[in-house]
Amino acid sequence: MKLHFSPTSPYVRKCMVSAHELGVADRITLLPSKAHPVDRDATLVATNPLGKVPAFITDDGLVLYDSRVICEWLDSSFNGRLFPREGAARWHALVLQSLADGILDAALLARYEEAARPEALRWADWQAGQIDKIRTALLSLDQAPEQLQGRVDIGTLSLACALGYLDLRYDAWGWRTRFPRLAEWAAGFMQRPSLQASWSA
């Protein structure tokens, strides 16, 4: 198995967290890729026409993207339990994964506004709007942290990766101080070996 990756991509991290949880991380070959919204990597585009990481190649040549598809394939292929099979637990896990990915989408768009867009073309209100999406998402979780307790599924793992990215790129924003109950949950959950082993920044 091969995975096109960028070392600080939180979506790549989600795939690798899943692989560690399933005990197959050492079977994945990492292929360095330059994922950039403007300066696109032709090798990566040849695998994923969107030119985004992660892009995954199975041993029989099946190409998979994005992280949601890759994680579910890993879970299905290696008899995992990261995706509950049925009932309310399944929908809770999938919705939390969507919320976590939405946090990441907003964080990346806000970052690109500074890191990729020329200064003269930056739009402060756009960036503020993305940050507010993060704020309202984290607030909803901080108000009901009990929904996260005792769970190890694709939702909680995705959320941990999203929060880790905020630590990396938005440390000065101080999400842990703003949302202390969520931070308390994260402090324990992020000690999982899969999360400790998967961050290559």
CATH number for the domain that contains residue 143: 1.20.1050.10
Residue at which a domain ends, from 77, 102, 124: 77
Q: Which domain holds residue 96?
A: 87-198
pLDDT tens readout for residues 95-151: 999 999 999 999 999 998 887 888 888 899 999 999 999 999 999 999 999 999 999
- Pick from 92, 66, 78: which is nearest to 14 by CA? 66
Global pTM value? 0.94
How many domains does the chain fold into? 2
- 97 and 188 together in one domain: yes
Residue at which a domain ends, from 77, 100, 130: 77
Q: What is the four-CA torsion angle of 168, 171, 175, 176, rounded to 10 degrees?
A: 90
CA torsion sign for 155, 161, 167, 170 is negative
Quickly state the pLDDT bin for 201 (edges 50, 70, 90).
Answer: very low
pLDDT tens readout for residues 5-55: 998 999 999 999 999 999 999 999 999 988 767 777 888 988 999 889 999
